[in-house]
Chains A and B, each alone.
Chain A
Amino acid sequence: GAGVSQSPSNKVTEKGKDVELRCDPISGHTALYWYRQSLGQGLEFLIYFQGNSAPDKSGLPSDRFSAERTGGSVSTLTIQRTQQEDSAVYLCASSLGKKDTQYFGPGTRLTVL
């Protein structure tokens, strides 16, 4: 079956612009996660969705970051007024449940000029 897909694979934007990153999880996976991977850094947790529950937003670095998940499937991560420090690879993962194995997408490489 299809894995986790993300689009776009690369995004170059100018400082101050808004960007939207998309994640399509594995069908049937109720849990969805967003992470940020900066050069030389580990994975930084951003946000977690589980079914219809309120998302865990505890990892979002600022109020410029937001995410939604429509219909319990596709998720969009939005970064408003992008800054150069937002440049990173944004990874999406999905799993059957919160404590199950997470399967990762290929990521979106965001470059803010």
Chain B
Amino acid sequence: AQSVSQHNHHVILSEAASLELGCNYSYGGTVNLFWYVQYPGQHLQLLLKYFSGDPLVKGIKGFEAEFIKSKFSFNLRKPSVQWSDTAEYFCAVIHNDMRFGAGTRLTVKP
């Protein structure tokens, strides 16, 4: 079945560590790609998105993601995480409709 996979269920990092969260999808053809973040007690917010153009997209709060078409991937990165980045991160793909990954919980230790 076509799907969106986030391989890391829970990631624990210390402040200032680098972050990479994986996202792979199995849809062929044109896709729109998103990363959403859900901070504790808050609703889902858009972190960044890719529709076309430069495959390296920059979002809010120093996050970036790279679309690699050949690998069907859209991994999220941040060079130096902060305690305030503790949240759940969801990858989403629009092909015919939007599908979300299961989410990755990030815990950043101060």
Q: Which A residues have a C-beta under 8 Å from some C-beta of B?
A: 33, 35, 41-43, 45, 48, 56, 91, 93, 98-99, 101-107
> Count of A-B contacts with CB under 8 A?
42
* Given A43-B90, A107-B43, A102-B103 contact (CB < 8 Å): no
In Å, the complex CA distance between A81 and B89 comes to 33
- Establish whether residues B98 and A102, one from each chain, have CB atoms under 8 Å apart when the complex forms: yes
Contact A42 B101 (CB under 8 A): yes
16 A-B interface contacts by CB (under 8 A): A33-B98, A35-B100, A42-B90, A42-B101, A42-B102, A43-B103, A45-B100, A48-B97, A56-B97, A99-B32, A99-B94, A102-B92, A102-B98, A104-B36, A104-B44, A106-B43
Give the complex CA separation of A105 and B44 in angstroms: 8
Instruction: Choose among B43, B46, B90 the residue with the greatest number of A CB atoms under 10 Å from its CB.
Output: B43
